[in-house]
Structure 1
Amino acid sequence: MQIVTNTPPTPEKLLNNRYRILQSIGSGGFGEKFLAEDTQMPSGRRCVIKQLKPSVNRPELYPLIQEQFRREAAILEKLGEKSDRIPRLYAYFEEEEQFYLVQEWIEGETLTTRIQRLGRLSETEVKEILLGLLPLLHRIHKQGLIHRDIKPDNIILRHPMGKPVLIDFGAVKETMGTMLNSQGSPTASILIGTPGFMASEQAVGYPLYSSDLYSLGMTAIYLLTGKTIKEMNIDRETGKILWRENVPDISQSFAEILDKAIQFYPRDRFSKSEEMFAALKTIPSPIPKTEPSLPPSTIFFPKPLQSPKTSHSKFKLFKQFKQLKDWQKATLFGILMGAFLGLGVAIPLKILFQQKSSQASTVDQLSNLPMSFYFIADSAFNDPENAEQKRQSLQEKGYSDAGLFWSPNYSNWSQYKSYKVYGDWFETKSACEKNLPKYREFNPSAYCGFATK
């Protein structure tokens, strides 16, 4: 049987008499990925189809590759059924001597895209991502599998809650790279992994479970610094990556965990994912140096003086002020008077906003968010200045009600200790969900959140 390399499928042709190709979403040495719709599902469910091409044109290898492909597909199906952190496998098939996997389409953005869009992540955000992925790696490793290609491109933050999802296992790629050695036995002919995120033993063809932890550690460092290993300094005597100089405010305990994960020798790393998970759970979440000094339930936010929406009118601002408790009104008055008299009252957030007029003038305004509210979440920052810059950029793009709040001031967000930037806020969940689709055209990662004190 002759193995041929076909041209990519076209929208006019249904793959497996079922799947209509919508667009190409990636390609590599082993084939191409497509976004497709399932014409046999009432919803026209979208899915990702991976077209895989064997790397050698050897008819005698086709039955072996076929058998291995089916085995790997069965493993992917089992893993996807047990975790929402791995795309579910809907189907697999062979057509015109090409191999296809049909997997769940994860709506979200990769960590690479996230960094390019918003800049480096905070320690708290990176820690949460690691804690979300390590139990998954434990489950994968218990199956005797090694992912072998963990990197920012292969981790998607799923909408709407931002849970990390791990994609593109290396085992199927290895199957496509099968060839015969000089003794006539099947062997892997390709190297799976990505330079900069790949451990030394994996680079020479001997991946271990700790190789995945190395890749995860390097991914975490990229998220913290926004830089790859090629962009960082290396100690020329020890070979140690001097990544900490790019994150001077990182906690010592968290840095030590990442340093252990990326040790050159496997014996010096965490040997199991549960060890790294346990180490991360022992360290507290960092508290930014710019934590507000206001009482826990009082914090002021930038809001427009006027809004095209009736729900954000002057009347509503006045009504909200009247609903404040006496001590909250006194606090607000004291802050304003202190600032006016030059008494040096320190407010960590910029509470003055700017609204453009035809004369490019600005108007300053204070307002207070309610005890509970729904909001369109845009992004989060440890640094209040970056959060304020993001808020201002949203206003410049037309989102006049964009604002931010300090997460610990709301009980259900207190664990994050970051400045949450939102595009708009609402009194009801239905109002938020109604406006979310339009906002997602601007920010695909946006979701409706709820904050309560």
Structure 2
Amino acid sequence: MTILCPNGHENPDTNRFCQSCGIQIATPVNTAMTAGIILGNRYRITKEIGQGGFGRTYQCEDINRFNELCVLKEFAPQVQGTAFLTKAQELFEREGGVMYGLQHPQIPKFREMFRENRGGVGQLFLVQDYVAGNNYQQLLRQKRKQGKTFTEAEMTDFLVQILPVLGYIHSLGVIHRDISPDNLIRRESDGLPVLIDFGGVKQVAVTVATQYMSGANNAENNNSYVPTRLGKVGYAPNEQIQRGVVSPHSDLYALAATTLVLLTGKEPSDLIDPQNFTWNWREHISLTPKLASVLDRMVQLRPNDRFASAQDILTALQYPELPISPVPPLPPPPKPLQPPVNSNPKIPQTVATGTKKNPVATPIPPTVVTATKEEQSNNSNAGAKNPSLLAIVGKTWMFIAAVVGAIALGWLVASLSAKFRPSFNSPNRSTSLPHLPSQPSQPSKFAKALLDSRMKN
């Protein structure tokens, strides 16, 4: 068990003075609640799971939701008086509203806040979803018993999985303030890290206790607040511990400190040089250059020297390292333009080579085209409009047809006469095929008459 001093530093529950700042630690006025007690007519205590400087944390069953497990955080400040408790309740409700607005699968859902009097003392309670699993401090303790620590591959996956959660809360203007191995749980169902125990509630508790211990006995007439510091020494950066300044940079610093502790198995006090506050983790572990440079930048002393956002860290982790390549050679001379490729394989592709010559007309075989009725009508109209052209074309074709017919008729007559010519067998003459005359035969009288008649027409 650990308890908090008024400045938010964790201490063993046996300490009466803070081991970090030396301030006196007051023992909580309340006693632990036993199993079976029902609070708010709804939450039945099953066991105590933690203790802080301002109260205890319990595992409970929600009897209105089929005994669903949940976490109940108790706030029992060592202050007396209605004014202080009322002010504390206002601050808690404000912080509870912020937590209620956080809707992320790796953040326990905030259920409600209520107030209840026990033994004449007013107490505030916060209820959140229960996350089954061990926190990373417990996991490290188990590994160290086996002589092991978390590997680089495990912690790289851890960073890639938890950085989007920080990016989400930072985008809403929420700072966790208390990132450490015991405030991160590895969920049993999927192995993802879950961010718990936001420091805003602790900050409220510290604020109320500090006001009370500073002698502000009448909070209603005193609106000034004593600056408070919250965060674990070694995990929180100097600007948070010394001046109470928190920002996304401080959460990212604490995340890097958590990662180095899980990698080395050493406490932050064993890794930080007390003279210049630099981290000397390389004496205990060797990492790849990429992860080493990322962690070094995350734990820089000045906030402006760190990464600006969780997304920047993700980019640095996931972007591959570029190898150093030699100077590239000069590019080759440009190639001559190639003719376009014919997309239709049925049409032959013509490629021009050599010097340009005058084109030679290639005869195109005649194509028989059947004219449509409309084209025939147009042709008839065209012939009617130009009768001389039609007459010339008609006579030319008639002449060609007559000549062809005469030749064909002459060849037919000659073939028939040769076929029926009697052959003479003589011992001095060998039998052979009849020879065609060397000169074409003259057209018959019938063919001449037919030709003359067509010419006259």
Query: TM-score interval w.r.t. the shorter chain?
Result: 0.5 to 0.7
Kindly provide the CA deviation profile for residues 9-50 of structure 1, in whole angstroms up to 9, marking residues without a partner as x: 3324211111111111110112110111112222x1111110
Maintained 8 Å contact 2:231/2:241: yes
2:239 maps to 1:201: yes
SS in 1 for 2:70: strand
SS in 1 for 2:71: strand
Kindly provide the CA deviation profile for residues 207-240 of structure 1, in whole angstroms up to 9, marking residues without a partner as x: 221000000000010111111122236385x442
What's 2:404 paired with? none
Equivalent residues in 2 for 1:352-363, closer than 5 Å: none
What's 1:102 paired with? 127
What's 2:152 paired with? 123
SS in 1 for 2:258: helix
Kindly provide the CA deviation profile for residues 39-90 of structure 1, in whole angstroms up to 9, marking residues without a partner as x: 2222x111111001235334323222212211211221221xx211111112
What's 2:284 paired with? 246
What's 1:151 paired with? 180
- Give structure 1 stretches of 5+ with no counterpart: 285-453
One of 113, 122, 136 as aligned partner of 1:92: 113
Worse-superposed segment, 150-159 or 275-284: 275-284
SS in 2 for 1:34: strand
Kindly provide the CA deviation profile for residues 247-304 of structure 1, in whole angstroms up to 9, marking residues without a partner as x: 12x10111010000001111111122221121111147xxxxxxxxxxxxxxxxxxxx
One of 13, 38, 46 as aligned partner of 2:69: 46
Maintained 8 Å contact 2:29/2:78: no
Distance 2:36 2:190 in 1: 36
Q: 1:94 to 1:186 in 2, by over 3 A?
A: farther
Q: CA RMSD in A?
A: 2.1
Distance 1:10 1:110 in 2: 24
- Give structure 2 stretches of 5+ with no counterpart: 1-27, 322-457
Maintained 8 Å contact 2:44/2:63: yes
What's 1:165 paired with? 194
Q: 1:247 to 1:68 in 2, by over 3 A?
A: same
CA drift at 1:187:
2.4
More strand by share: 1
Distance 1:10 1:189 in 2: 36
SS in 2 for 1:140: helix
Q: 1:130 to 1:39 in 2, by over 3 A?
A: same
One of 196, 216, 219 as aligned partner of 2:255: 216
Maintained 8 Å contact 1:9/1:15: no
CA drift at 1:143:
1.8
SS in 2 for 1:23: strand
Bigger-Rg structure (1/2): 2
SS in 2 for 1:149: coil
What's 1:7 paired with? 31
Distance 1:26 1:211 in 2: 25
SS in 2 for 1:26: strand
Maintained 8 Å contact 1:177/1:188: no
Q: 1:57 to 1:188 in 2, by over 3 A?
A: farther
CA drift at 1:7:
2.8
CA drift at 1:189:
5.7
CA drift at 1:246:
1.2
CA drift at 1:199:
0.3
Q: Aligned AA for 1:32? A: R
Q: Aligned AA for 2:70? A: C
Maintained 8 Å contact 1:253/1:283: no
What's 1:139 paired with? 168
Distance 1:21 1:235 in 2: 44
Distance 1:188 1:18 in 2: 37
Distance 2:235 2:64 in 1: 40
What's 2:307 paired with? 270
SS in 2 for 1:177: helix
CA drift at 1:186:
4.6
Q: 1:22 to 1:235 in 2, by over 3 A?
A: closer
SS in 1 for 2:232: coil
Distance 1:233 1:83 in 2: 33
Q: Aligned AA for 2:205? A: M
Q: Aligned AA for 2:293? A: E
Q: 1:90 to 1:125 in 2, by over 3 A?
A: same
Q: Aligned AA for 1:256? A: S
What's 1:260 paired with? 297
Kindly provide the CA deviation profile for residues 353-410 of structure 1, in whole angstroms up to 9, marking residues without a partner as x: xxxxxxxxxxxxxxxxxxxxxxxxxxxxxxxxxxxxxxxxxxxxxxxxxxxxxxxxxx
SS in 1 for 2:177: coil
CA drift at 1:193:
0.7
TM (normalized to structure 1)? 0.58
Maintained 8 Å contact 1:178/1:186: no
What's 1:114 paired with? 139
Q: 1:89 to 1:233 in 2, by over 3 A?
A: closer
CA drift at 1:151:
0.3
Kindly provide the CA deviation profile for residues 176-224 of structure 1, in whole angstroms up to 9, marking residues without a partner as x: 2224477922525642111110100000211221000000000010111
Distance 2:150 2:113 in 1: 36
Distance 1:112 1:13 in 2: 30
Maintained 8 Å contact 1:55/1:178: no
SS in 2 for 1:36: strand
2:91 maps to 1:68: yes
Q: 1:53 to 1:188 in 2, by over 3 A?
A: farther
CA drift at 1:138:
1.3
Identity value in percent: 35
What's 1:229 paired with? 268
Maintained 8 Å contact 2:59/2:69: yes
What's 1:83 paired with? 104
What's 1:279 paired with? 316
One of 61, 65, 81 as aligned partner of 1:37: 61
Distance 1:283 1:185 in 2: 53
What's 1:410 paired with? none
**Aligned length, in residue pairs:** 276
Equivalent residues in 2 for 1:285-296, closer than 5 Å: none
